[in-house]
């Protein structure tokens, strides 16, 4: 065996126990399938228990699907009661209104799901991981944590706050060997973005903003999730892995070389 042969196992998740919150559909479903493909035993949790069980069935016998409200502290504590090596949350909601048109109910809904939910997940899973001396927690943020547009104020604020929560957790639990990172997708074709994609003008405008000139498929988020869950990222914590097709790298306002 050569000294470098161990690198072939960097992404191997065999023997790891993973929880994917929001795994019933969209990005979460693909992440659950991806973790399982690399050997992890996966518990799929989703507000829709039926959707979670459907994802688990697609994985096979080494997966379990359960209904879970991320704001239910008792349910989260029960889920974290068993040893967990990897916890990933993909949950999120959006209310597209200008700031002056938002209601307190809108605020509560978006903040509770996108920020309080992640806070409670950290609080549920981190102590047990710290006791065992290892673990990886990953939450899906968004490019909206960095760049904004009218009508996405609450969503952007929660995603920026989510990143800072993870960075704080990275600082607090790093000495115990637990890592916390965020993934920031660009525009992904999921049920959450279906209303935007239904409008041809918006669909095209979003597609052409990135360097790759297209929307991402949910499966294109899997590589980042597997990387952050695995030993391949053993020295990565407190980081944001941007998977946006170049959206935040390119201004996109004017191309002087485009055909006229």
The residues annotated as belonging to the active site are 155
> Which of these, 168, 183, 185, 175, lies nearest to 238 by C-alpha position?
168
E strands, the chain, are 17-21, 41-46, 63-67, 86-89, 135-140, 178-185, 240-243
Q: Look-up: residue for tokens 């502290």?
A: 73
Q: Is the distance from CB of 132 to CB of 176 less than 8 angstroms?
A: no
C-alpha of 203 from chain center = 22
Distance from C-alpha of 161 to C-alpha of 180, rounded to nearest angstrom: 14
Contact partners, residue 109, CB within 8 Å, separation at least 6: 93, 95
Tokens for 110, please give them: 């978006």
> Which of these, 99, 172, 97, 182, lies nearest to 139 by C-alpha position?
182
């Amino acid at each position: 065996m050569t000294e470098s042969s161990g690198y072939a196992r960097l992404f191997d998740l065999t023997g790891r126990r993973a929880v994917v919150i929001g795994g019933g559909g969209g990005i979460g479903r693909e992440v659950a399938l991806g973790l399982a493909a690399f050997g992890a035993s996966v518990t799929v949790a989703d507000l829709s228990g039926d959707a979670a069980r459907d994802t688990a069935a697609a994985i096979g016998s080494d997966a379990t699907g359960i209904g879970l409200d991320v704001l239910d502290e008792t349910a989260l504590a029960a889920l974290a009661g068993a040893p967990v090596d990897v916890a990933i949350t993909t949950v999120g909601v959006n209310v597209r209104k200008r700031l002056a048109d938002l209601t307190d109910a809108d605020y509560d809904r978006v903040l509770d799901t996108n920020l309080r939910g992640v806070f409670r997940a950290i609080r549920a899973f981190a102590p047990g991981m710290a006791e065992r001396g290892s673990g990886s927690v990953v939450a899906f943020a968004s490019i909206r944590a960095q760049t904004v547009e009218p009508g996405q104020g609450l969503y952007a604020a929660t995603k920026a706050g989510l990143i800072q929560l993870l960075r704080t957790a990275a600082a607090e639990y790093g000495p115990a060997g637990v890592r916390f990172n965020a993934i920031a997708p660009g525009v992904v074709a999921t049920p959450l973005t279906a209303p935007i994609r239904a409008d041809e003008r918006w669909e095209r405008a979003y597609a052409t903003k990135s360097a790759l000139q297209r929307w991402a498929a949910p499966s294109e988020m899997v590589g980042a999730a597997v990387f952050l869950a695995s030993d391949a990222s053993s020295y990565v914590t407190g980081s944001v892995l941007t998977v946006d097709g170049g959206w935040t790298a390119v201004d996109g306002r004017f191309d002087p070389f485009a055909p006229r």
